[in-house]
Amino acid sequence: MQILQDKKIVLGISGGIAAYKTPELVRRLKEQGADVRVVMTQSAKAFTTPLTLQALSGNAVADSLLDTQAELAMGHIELAKWADLVLIAPATAEIIARIACGMANDLLTTLCLATSATIALAPAMNQQMWHAQATQANIKTLNERGNQIWGPGSGEQACGDIGLGRMLEVDELVSLSSDFFADKYLEDQHWVITAGPTREAIDPVRYISNHSSGKMGYAIAHAALRAGAKVTLISGPVTINAPIGCQLISVNSAEEMHQQALKFAPKCTTFIACAAVADYRVAKIADHKIKKTNDAMQLELIRNHDIVADVASLSTKPFIVGFAAETQNVEHYARGKLMRKNLDLIAANDVAKSGQGFNSDDNALTLFSAIDKTEIPLANKQIIAQQLVALINQHYLAKHN
């Protein structure tokens, strides 16, 4: 069943240009099974229409505290009691200030005072307004009261400025809504995850690398966050965004990843070595670009540190999960790595198969322990990650009970 199935979400829309995205947000939340009721401020109606939102949500849109018909049944109180989550998107500087001050001069602010549900705000404003002392003081106040602040994102804004202040994209808000309702079974755990490729420099403009996109490692980080874990993501260079809420440590080389892994591994409960780390690096990196003067060129390569093996050799080691991307004899090589490196689990995949593994959105894994084997069939990497995180936790609990 979908996480948002039958969840009751009040979507509060205030008067910012990002309100044009809210019909799509309603549609996507409904797709995930949520029951959505929309509350608009008067200024929000300048950017999108109640009729559109009513058609998409399947519920009447509320926009006035003084609606005599709705208030016959104390409509604002009923909405406040009905909600499992109040999501305000976009949350302008003005609505943030009014909620922080405890004002109740329209339907949306009154509902926020009257509800016991969690309130999540998705800020949307000019970058200077976001950084203003008054706004930051209001955000601090809301945080201290237990409200959730989702965003803002960074990028080009409607006014032409570039910086923090953009409302998060619809898919990010849907994902955060799902995360809010997800089972937090990893709440007391700290996961450190390595992801992506490494780049081993040849000279200032060239490097040796591989085809890893980082999608699997990032999906695991997202799934662990959704399950309540604190997540540190040590990532090589990728073109995808890190999950909101994780601690991102960006590295380039295997040596840098090794240093960061040994820094964070002793402090974590679970270490996931998902990165595609280069086995070798260039012995001597050229100070300047190597010129094409000969028909052939030889590079001397030296072996990199084995990150997961070094983590496994720590005196106080976490629960350790390795990855084995193989093109043949997958089970043989995976079990060999499991035993040789003293891992608790290893997740193996056959990257020779088309449509899974490197650069693909899909994957299939086989999870090996010293005593058993579990197949995770081909699916989107987000789904694979959710199943994998649950299985890892089962093994983690079995070991520590």
pLDDT in tens, 282-303: 999 999 998 888 888 888 999 9
What stretch of H or E contains 282?
A: strand 280-282
pLDDT band at 69 (very low <50, low <70, confident <90, very high): low
What pairs with residue 206 in β-bridges?
Answer: 203
Is pLDDT of 74 > 50?
no
Mean pLDDT over the full length of the chain: 90
pLDDT-wise least confident of 75-79, 315-319, 356-360 = 356-360
pLDDT band at 355 (very low <50, low <70, confident <90, very high): low
Q: Residue 16 and residue 37: Cα distance in Å, rounded?
A: 19
Q: Residue 226 and residue 182: Cα distance in Å, rounded?
A: 6
8 Å CB contact between 255 and 305: yes
- The confidence score (pLDDT) of residue 294 equals 82
Mean pLDDT on 93-97: 96
Predicted TM-score of the model (pTM): 0.77
CA 243 to chain centre: 2
- The confidence score (pLDDT) of residue 134 equals 95
User: Could you give the percent of the chain with pLDDT greater than 70?
Assistant: 95
Which of the residues 159, 246, 268, 274 is marked catalytic?
Answer: 159
Q: Residue 232 and residue 254: Cα distance in Å, rounded?
A: 17
Domains in the chain (CATH in brackets) are 8-181 (3.40.50.1950), 190-400 (3.40.50.10300)
Mean pLDDT on 263-289: 94
Based on the residue annotation, tell me whether 159 is a catalytic residue of this protein.
yes
